[in-house]
Structure 1
């Protein structure tokens, strides 16, 4: 295992590392969400219900992710993180490609389980590495660039997935989009250097233990007692629940309601996510950093405001009878929602000790995944099936609307609550440099 240590500040190389980890995140999301553009084809070939599709698109992925997420985070806090990211990326990419060989519901379910096994080890070490390459005053913008992978992933899954599916079918779509991740994993392993852990941790009284991992129960008690961490994790989980609902169900809703092709829907959604999501992620991170220089509470306050403004856009877009209006309203809400992610991720990472970062990131990812993938898709599919008799093809729209209103209302309140914790317990790692 390579253990070389890179400088943790300054220079262009850290941005190369950031881009590599952002691309890793991109494939992470693309492999999760490529099924969205393929739902109607898979549903027709295997004769599946919306409930079964929800299980395949979300619950199957989350099963091992939830089991392995925290152990993976613990491992990230004590081992070579870039090696862990590279191996995880290659594993989930291989399992995603194997989805194309599925013979029915159960074999596809098993392959999706495998995707979750690999992806459990990707996020926690990536966030931890970035925190050791970028100083606290620039961490939100760095995390915003990293989180842009969550935008580029659906772009790849929708735009490329839709075109590939129309030309070669849904099976080859999984294969063609899965295999490049293996090559990226190899490149990452040989070109990314492991930074010194805890480089920017400022709490001098604990500097001596910045590189020593505490026992699991001690770490969990520390995180549970950390008000900023707990509140941000819960708030961001409810923020992402409707985001994943749209990521999985928007394409089939548009196909059902407006009778457009996979290729067209893929291009529409891909273009919107790229031109709206990438600037939203990056500019949101810069804005949060700028506001936080005046008052650190502006990080959660900004998140609360953006989440609240997202709700009417996403509710109205699902009630529109025009494809153009639906897409425009969705885009406005999407830009607002994704602009919160740089600030949210940076608050999680900066609020905890260096040897807790991987564990903290895994718990955050686990919570988001549980709501966004484990519960959300299957629950929405169940509501859609139950309401189909009364609302027809609009039953899926109403199921997603219910998720949007409840989740984003809770997220707004929770981010405001987080602001009180930041005021009472300002994190030294979040202080301006």
Structure 2
């Protein structure tokens, strides 16, 4: 535990820390996705191929994010977490701003690699800090507020990025969106206090006689074996990964689907989808966390059970969304499904963090993020593209719709099964740590 760690006693300050970390998450997503709205301008100026664009937009970020995620999580379990967040945020924001100074493919690729390196160190320590600021009975709502950043990030990256690019060009877009992150990193370093690591776990552990792992980090392989045999962690990670496959799929493919199936421009699509994200996503993230905490007071198994139910109910909405002949109904069905799906994120993140030892939380968060990004961001969209190409002769412009539906139905069904499976491992005794190894 850092010598600068201080006890925290709840109150308003912890919500200040939570909002700062939520804004960090927002810039994480925005700096990652802004590239997509700038692709055509960058491609034209540097005369790049689609393969090079694919490397810049996806591979350059994802590869290093995945490679460095677990080491960064490991570091978060034994160092000052708020300092790590501040440094990571400032680094990826600086590298994002430097994208605007690129003179060709290779310099832009190096800057994008830097964005991935920095962002790998942001998520795990943020979730770990929040877990030590909020008691277990209010953790889902706190994680729901934190996850609002995942809604505000795309809105900032897509909407603000597009508007800035139209007014000032793609280079200044990177700079204007990058500089505020550097400033926020400095604010976090100066104003966020490092909470005492594992204080809520320690309280529960003292009641049940299990206090090992609160302060001392175990060797890497010991930690990995501990996580592998932790049924709650293992099952939640699988459930959340399958939940995010269709989430990423819709984020990437819904815009071209709307433009192919309806007479709308890219600007109109951006307004429609950005509005749906803000109007539906922000309250869903927050209220979903509150609802999961309320249900868990009656029975802690309701956290994963609520997730399973919400994920299942998403399936018909998103299926009808892609089968509708009306733009208005398509958007309405999408928004309903989106509200249900993102309402699970607070509970899911809290289950990951509360099921592991305090000195495992950064590593646990990194592993969860790694699998989610690998399946949802690295494999899912590409698989849908291949399916759409293969089905084009049979289904024409609807081939993409059917591909997304197929992947979404299978993934969400698997996610619901895994969340139900998590419920079987959750202990009902609230006095004991949430960790479980039973079947």
Aligned counterparts of 1:73 and 1:376: Cα–Cα separation in 2:
24
Decide whether the 8 Å contact of 2:6 with 2:194 is kept in 1: yes
Matched, 1:203 2:233: no
Cα deviations by residue, 1:373-418 (Å, 9 ceiling, x for unpaired) = 1222333334344445555544433332232122111111111111
TM-score of the two chains, using structure 1 as the length reference = 0.91
TM-score of the two chains, using structure 2 as the length reference = 0.90
CA displacement at 1:184 relative to structure 2 = 0.9
RMSD of aligned Cα (Å): 2.5
Gaps of 5+ in 1: none
Q: How does 1:54-203 map to 2 (within 5 A)?
A: 56-102=56-102, 108-201=108-201, 202-203=204-205
Cα deviations by residue, 1:65-107 (Å, 9 ceiling, x for unpaired) = 1111111011000001001101111111222233345566665
Residues 105 and 324 (structure 1), Cα distance of their counterparts in 2 relative to 1, 3 Å cut: farther
**More displaced, 222-231 or 241-250?**
241-250
Decide whether the 8 Å contact of 2:48 with 2:105 is kept in 1: no
2:412 to 394, 408, 411: 408
CA displacement at 1:191 relative to structure 2 = 0.9
Matched, 1:294 2:276: no
Aligned length: 429
2:352 to 332, 348, 365: 348
Q: How does 1:224-235 map to 2 (within 5 A)?
A: 224-235=228-239
Hey, what does 2:385 align to over in structure 1?
381
SS in 1 for 2:211: helix
Residues 329 and 398 (structure 1), Cα distance of their counterparts in 2 relative to 1, 3 Å cut: same
CA displacement at 1:126 relative to structure 2 = 0.2
Instruction: Indicate the structure whose relative CO is greater, using CA pairs within 8 Å and at least 6 residues apart.
Output: 1
Hey, what does 2:335 align to over in structure 1?
331
Aligned counterparts of 1:126 and 1:371: Cα–Cα separation in 2:
22
SS in 1 for 2:78: coil
**More displaced, 149-158 or 58-67?**
58-67
**More displaced, 2-11 or 300-309?**
2-11
Residues 113 and 161 (structure 1), Cα distance of their counterparts in 2 relative to 1, 3 Å cut: same
Cα deviations by residue, 1:288-343 (Å, 9 ceiling, x for unpaired) = 11111111111111101111111121122223333222211111111000000010
Residues 378 and 233 (structure 1), Cα distance of their counterparts in 2 relative to 1, 3 Å cut: same
Decide whether the 8 Å contact of 1:66 with 1:370 is kept in 2: yes
Aligned counterparts of 2:334 and 2:385: Cα–Cα separation in 1:
20
Aligned counterparts of 1:117 and 1:388: Cα–Cα separation in 2:
38
Matched, 1:320 2:362: no
